[in-house]
């Protein structure tokens, strides 16, 4: 028996040795953190820290009556701008989209989706069968910070080059003389002239590219594609909220609102034409128009901005703009939390006497990191400690259990405030549509904050319950539309082709449309007047 116990394979011994070494290292780490978690604070610093925490708990909480005030101010501004007689921070831009996809679209379509963080190229083949898709291919690329500030031609050349390479990669390179149809999701404020033409009003999301404001993104993209050797027709120019609305409407006809909750934040909804007096052309009565709210620019004296909000605004590329977005969107929430944590460290001794340079660096805490901290359920908040080391360069001896608990609370407060604030925009649109009365309404949502930040969604729902009442709030159904902005741009381009294409006497596609399936041969002048109604075309009346 003794000999048998000594006869172990050499590999087993090595594994045991490595396992033992790892266990010792892990035990040492736990020991250090547990020991550090008991490090006593200076009583004066601890008292100051608790005082600051109490201040932030109060400042970041938004009571129900204030939520109602903010919602009411938003509705007033919506109608002021729609009247065409007044101006307000809410731009309320008519998208000139009065026909949404209805499932009868078919053909081959490309789409480009330019957001704040990433850029996507899309190919979709819509089936002859109602509402079915035969093929979908997609690629995604990060938009490097340097691209935020290059001249517009360079930015659009970057996008055009990616689309041409993508088409070649998937075996869909257009034949000589063909005119592929492209949908363009351009997630920035547009003054819409038609469903596929408009001018950029201003940049946001940190972009400052010259020679783009007051220019037509469709023309910039078509010119860039031509420089890359691809002649194309851009048949839809929409922002991400309109595209998300269209994608969700394709799935559910009760959709009335499309929302983006990601790097930025915005909403688009279905408005009756009688209320829309700020469009570039008079709208026929009894129809609907998709309105791009641009609610990120909403502001009111009732918004409870704290010093950190004001500091972010002052340091941004667009001060005195986008207040609502800067309090609720993914580009900013992590930075709000970082600035609060920095103050707690400087004035309350949160991490001892040393202030790491990483904590002082703007943008060092991202919203995804903040969300992970907010959701951290690990023992002794060890995941939070790891993030603090990664983000700020904190030494192990600076991190205590108390400090990680404080950081988690701050992250939670910032995210919870943002979600509750967002409920004012959702409920404002419901009131504008007279659908805050229990009528089933689907809200299509896309964006990483909505998809990955669970506490944000919970806070938004809590705010709706308080502002609308639980019964009415329960009738608002949020649906995550994965890749909604990308697919919606393609669907809207397909709808534009359907509307503009000739039909036979039975309302079906004629031979030209069947044969080309979305690819027109020969040169074509892009449609600048918008399309008419299709016999089979759906209408956004009563839905989104």
Q: Which of 146-155, 193-202, 312-321, 507-516 has the lowest mean pLDDT?
A: 507-516
What is the CA 237 to chain-centroid distance, rounded?
18
Higher pLDDT, residue 23 or 476: 476
- Rounding to the nearest 10 degrees, give the CA dihedral for residues 9, 11, 15, 16: 20
d(CA 197, CA 189): 13
Instruction: Please give the pLDDT value at position 4.
Output: 32
Cβ contacts of residue 370 below 8 Å, gap of 6+?
333, 334, 337, 411, 414, 415
Higher pLDDT, residue 536 or 286: 286
Q: Is the dihedral of CA 468, 473, 477, 483 positive or negative?
A: positive
The token duo for 139 is 């690629």
Average pLDDT over every residue of 278-291? 88
Higher pLDDT, residue 177 or 186: 186
Higher pLDDT, residue 526 or 394: 394
Q: Which of 20-24, 236-240, 254-258 has the lowest mean pLDDT?
A: 20-24
Instruction: Please give the pLDDT value at position 81.
Output: 97
Instruction: Please give the pLDDT value at position 538.
Output: 32
Q: Which helix (H) or strand (E) holds 185?
A: strand 178-186
d(CA 269, CA 426): 10
Q: What is the mean pLDDT of the chain?
A: 86
pLDDT bin (cut points 50, 70, 90) of residue 16 is very low
Instruction: Please give the pLDDT value at position 245.
Output: 96
Instruction: Please give the pLDDT value at position 69.
Output: 99
Residue 512 clears pLDDT 60, i.e. is over it: no
Q: Output the DSSP codes for 6-61.
A: H---HHHHHHHHHHHHHHHHHHHHHHHHHHHHTPPPPHHHHHHHHHHHHHHHHHT-
Instruction: Please give the pLDDT value at position 23.
Output: 44
Q: Which of 188, 196, 266 shows the shortest CA–CA distance to 236?
A: 196
Instruction: Please give the pLDDT value at position 36.
Output: 44
Q: Output the DSSP codes for 492-529.
A: HHHHHHHHHS-B-TTSSB-HHHHHHTTEEES--PPPSS
Give, in order, the Cα–Cα distances in Å from 212 to each of 216, 223, 225, 301, 416: 8, 13, 16, 32, 36
Instruction: Please give the pLDDT value at position 253.
Output: 86
What does pTM read for this prediction?
A: 0.79
The token duo for 382 is 């060890």
Q: What residues pair up with 272 in beta bridges, in sequence order?
A: 288
Instruction: Please give the pLDDT value at position 31.
Output: 39
Residue 509 clears pLDDT 80, i.e. is over it: no
Q: Is 473 helix (H, G, I), strand (E, B) or coil?
A: helix
Q: Which of 120-134, 413-427, 512-526 has the lowest mean pLDDT?
A: 512-526
pLDDT bin (cut points 50, 70, 90) of residue 501 is low
d(CA 220, CA 467): 43
Instruction: Please give the pLDDT value at position 167.
Output: 96
Instruction: Please give the pLDDT value at position 40.
Output: 53
Express each pLDDT in 77-105 by its tens digit. 999 999 998 989 999 999 999 888 888 88
d(CA 49, CA 397): 19
Instruction: Please give the pLDDT value at position 453.
Output: 98
Express each pLDDT in 241-283 by its tens digit. 999 999 998 888 899 999 999 988 999 999 999 999 998 888 8
Express each pLDDT in 320-359 by its tens digit. 999 999 999 999 999 999 999 999 999 999 999 999 999 9
Domains of the chain: 94-251+482-518 (3.30.420.40)
- Other beta carbons within 10 angstroms of residue 50's beta carbon come to 12
| DSSP category for residue 362 | T
Average pLDDT over every residue of 138-166? 95
Q: At which residue do the structure tokens 């517009």 appear? A: 152
Higher pLDDT, residue 506 or 234: 234
Highest mean pLDDT out of 246-260, 364-378, 476-490: 364-378
Q: Which helix (H) or strand (E) holds 198?
A: strand 197-200
Average pLDDT over every residue of 46-71? 97
What angle do the packed helices 330-348 and 401-432 form, to 10 degrees? 140
Beta pairing class for 265-272 and 288-292: antiparallel
Residue 34 clears pLDDT 70, i.e. is over it: no
Residue 386 clears pLDDT 50, i.e. is over it: yes
Average pLDDT over every residue of 145-157? 96
| DSSP category for residue 175 | P
Residue 132 clears pLDDT 50, i.e. is over it: yes
């Amino acid at each position: 028996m003794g000999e048998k116990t000594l006869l172990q394979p050499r590999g087993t011994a090595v594994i045991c040795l490595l396992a033992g070494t790892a266990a010792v290292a892990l035990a040492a780490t736990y020991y250090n953190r547990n020991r550090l978690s008991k490090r006593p604070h200076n009583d004066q610093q601890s008292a100051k820290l608790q005082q600051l925490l109490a201040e932030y708990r109060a400042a970041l909480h938004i009571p129900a009556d204030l939520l109602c005030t903010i919602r009411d101010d938003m509705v007033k501004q919506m109608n002021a701008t729609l009247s065409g007689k007044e101006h307000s921070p809410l731009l309320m831009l008519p998208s000139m989209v009065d026909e949404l996809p209805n499932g009868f679209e078919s053909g081959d379509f490309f789409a480009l989706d330019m957001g704040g963080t990433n850029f996507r190229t899309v190919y979709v083949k819509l089936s002859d069968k109602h509402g079915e898709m035969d093929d979908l291919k997609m690629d995604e690329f990060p938009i490097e910070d340097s691209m935020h500030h290059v001249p517009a031609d360079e930015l659009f050349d970057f996008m055009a080059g990616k689309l041409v390479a993508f088409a070649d990669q998937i075996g869909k390179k257009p034949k000589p003389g063909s005119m592929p149809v492209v949908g363009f999701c351009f997630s920035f404020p547009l003054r819409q002239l038609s469903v596929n033409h408009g001018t950029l009003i201003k940049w946001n999301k940190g972009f400052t590219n010259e020679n783009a404001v007051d220019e037509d993104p469709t023309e910039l993209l078509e010119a860039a594609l031509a420089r890359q050797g691809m002649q194309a027709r851009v048949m839809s120019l929409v922002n991400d909220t309109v595209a998300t609305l269209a994608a969700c409407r394709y799935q559910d006809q009760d959709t009335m609102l499309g929302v983006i909750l990601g790097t930025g934040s915005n909403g688009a909804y279905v408005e009756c034409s009688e209320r829309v007096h700020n469009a570039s052309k008079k709208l026929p009565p009894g129809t609907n128009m998709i309105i791009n709210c641009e609610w990120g620019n909403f502001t009111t004296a009732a918004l409870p901005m704290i010093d950190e909000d004001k500091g972010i605004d002052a340091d941004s590329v667009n001060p005195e703009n986008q207040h609502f977005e800067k309090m609720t969107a993914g580009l900013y929430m992590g930075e709000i939390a970082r600035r609060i944590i920095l103050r707690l460290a400087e004035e309350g001794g949160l991490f001892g006497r040393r202030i790491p340079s990483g904590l002082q660096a703007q943008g060092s805490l991202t919203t995804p990191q903040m969300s992970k901290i907010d959701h951290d359920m690990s023992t002794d908040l060890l995941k939070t400690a790891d993030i603090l080391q990664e983000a700020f360069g904190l030494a192990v001896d600076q991190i205590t259990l108390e400090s990680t608990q404080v950081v988690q609370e701050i992250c939670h407060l910032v995210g919870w405030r943002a979600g509750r604030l967002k409920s004012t925009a959702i409920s404002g649109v419901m009131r504008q549509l007279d659908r805050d009365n229990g009528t089933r309404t689907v809200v299509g949502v896309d964006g990483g904050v909505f998809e990955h930040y669970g506490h944000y969604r919970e806070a938004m729902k809590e705010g709706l319950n308080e502002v609308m009442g639980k019964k009415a709030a329960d009738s608002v159904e949020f649906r995550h539309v994965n890749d909604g902005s990308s697919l919606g741009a393609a669907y809207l381009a397909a709808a534009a082709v359907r509307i503009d294409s000739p039909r036979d006497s039975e309302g079906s596609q004629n031979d030209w449309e069947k044969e080309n399936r979305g690819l027109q041969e020969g040169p074509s002048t892009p449609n600048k007047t918008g399309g008419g109604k299709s016999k089979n075309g759906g209408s956004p009346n009563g839905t989104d």
